[in-house]
Structure 1
């Protein structure tokens, strides 16, 4: 039996690491990328322990040649690519959440347009020929509600809104090749790091909300189920809320809860983009 192959960018920690774990649990061979060798080895070991195959690859997604080499390695070693999860992003949490307008915050916040939006494009550019040769697949770009509502300021919002539109436009080019391209909005994530922090060190309001946060594996389970769906091409080009897709597929979080959709309070992706009709 041929083993399915996934690449999850930015997966040495946080959401990407959880997505990689979920795919590994599903039996995938998962290539994980990041800049920290030790963290990548640890994340790959988790996948191996779960019954999959984890391969950590040190890759700086600012470096187009390194990204090209990544997918050449995947092709050489595995000969196929079924899922690409574009999760890598240059995020500076303390600076993002600091009060004040964008011009009073560090200029490096704009880096997420480079490692986030642009790096998604480059990874998909390198991955697409391999996915087409595989005969189909799924590119899932990680985005967030900040694409349609104010969240962490204009650099964050531009990166996320651009990701959604890029996923839509890529879908138009990839549709004839049976490769789906979607943007996915996870909810608020209970990351490994957040779980490890003593609750007395966290703001009381955050501690109160933690039970509603979702495990990072949840988004990975949604992505895997979408890839398995024989009707997945019906969803290509769409921006999907992971919680709503989880409900549609009857996927629960690791603790058994149904994660929350924040569409009513933070905005919805529905009906933003339009495919022109042939008027000839």
Structure 2
């Protein structure tokens, strides 16, 4: 994969799963990647993988519910590099029982924690990152999902994903004069330990999905490809299906495949009105 060597990136929620895969893909493109999350052990493993891929991984233990810790993270990036090229907002607090087939009022009330680490945390991270991103232009990517457009895992999860899609649209308006692209990327069914465990628990319900999965690295490859594109601003403010954008950019998954989009079943992203009222 070709990509922007020398890029300075922050990937939140990178101790495992999607965040770890995105960080590894950016490192493979030559990036220095600050990887954040609460698991020191998980972050160390992600940073080591980034180093192995040819980039540099910098683990930073950071609870994205703690605004002071987030401020300290970006202050460190400022001191050490003076700029930021890529922010991937991936941190989210996924509660137990999220995929249980029950109405929302029968699930624990603490499912609302996704509003804090998931939606609010994305805003806070971008608020701190924006002055660094405007130094020489860059990219903000919010990881999202088809839950932003259809019922998926219940109203709390859906509201978070729809929320980060709207953050991308509106942040793009403010950051466009500074050559900063902002997108929200709908990831597909990821081949993570968590997902594979779910398939194993209920193969009759989910088994058919296994052939339609994408690696956790695909989104990172898309981000790297977007950073390298000479006309990347054409995508700013949009919510995109990662698998579709990968094909548009000529990006493949780690096995050389082009994972399918789920648009035909789950629908596509909403189109926001271009009006700007200040």
Post-superposition CA distance 1:96-121 (Å, at most 9, x none): 11121111100111111110010000
Partner of 2:61: 58
Q: Indicate the RMSD between aligned Cα atoms, in angstroms.
A: 1.9
Partner of 1:76: 79
2:214 counterpart of 1:211: no
2:93 counterpart of 1:90: yes
1:208 is displaced (CA, Å) by 3.8
Q: Does the residue aligned with 1:143 lie in a helix, a strand or coil?
A: strand
Q: Does the residue aligned with 1:253 lie in a helix, a strand or coil?
A: coil
Q: Summarize the alignment of residues 138-177 of structure 1 with structure 2, pairs less than 5 Å apart.
A: 138-177=139-178
Partner of 1:118: 120
Please give the alpha-carbon distance, in whole angstroms, between the structure 2 residues aligned to 1:199 and 1:168. 34
Aligned residues: 274
Q: Summarize the alignment of residues 39-54 of structure 1 with structure 2, pairs less than 5 Å apart.
A: 39-54=42-57
Give the structure-1-normalised TM-score.
Answer: 0.93
2:14 counterpart of 1:7: no
Post-superposition CA distance 1:217-255 (Å, at most 9, x none): 111000111111121111110001000011111211112
Partner of 2:253: 253
Please give the alpha-carbon distance, in whole angstroms, between the structure 1 residues aligned to 2:194 and 2:101. 23
| Pair 205,49 (structure 1): closer, same or farther in 2 beyond 3 Å | same
Is the 2:5–2:29 contact (alpha carbons within 8 Å) kept by the matching residues of 1? no
1:156 is displaced (CA, Å) by 0.5
Partner of 2:20: 17
1:265 is displaced (CA, Å) by 1.0
1:269 is displaced (CA, Å) by 1.0
Q: Which runs of 5+ in 1 are unaligned?
A: none
Q: Does the residue aligned with 2:240 lie in a helix, a strand or coil?
A: strand
| Pair 41,267 (structure 1): closer, same or farther in 2 beyond 3 Å | same
Q: Does the residue aligned with 2:59 lie in a helix, a strand or coil?
A: strand
Give the structure-2-normalised TM-score.
Answer: 0.94
Please give the alpha-carbon distance, in whole angstroms, between the structure 1 residues aligned to 2:53 and 2:79. 24
Partner of 2:30: 27
Please give the alpha-carbon distance, in whole angstroms, between the structure 1 residues aligned to 2:54 and 2:108. 43
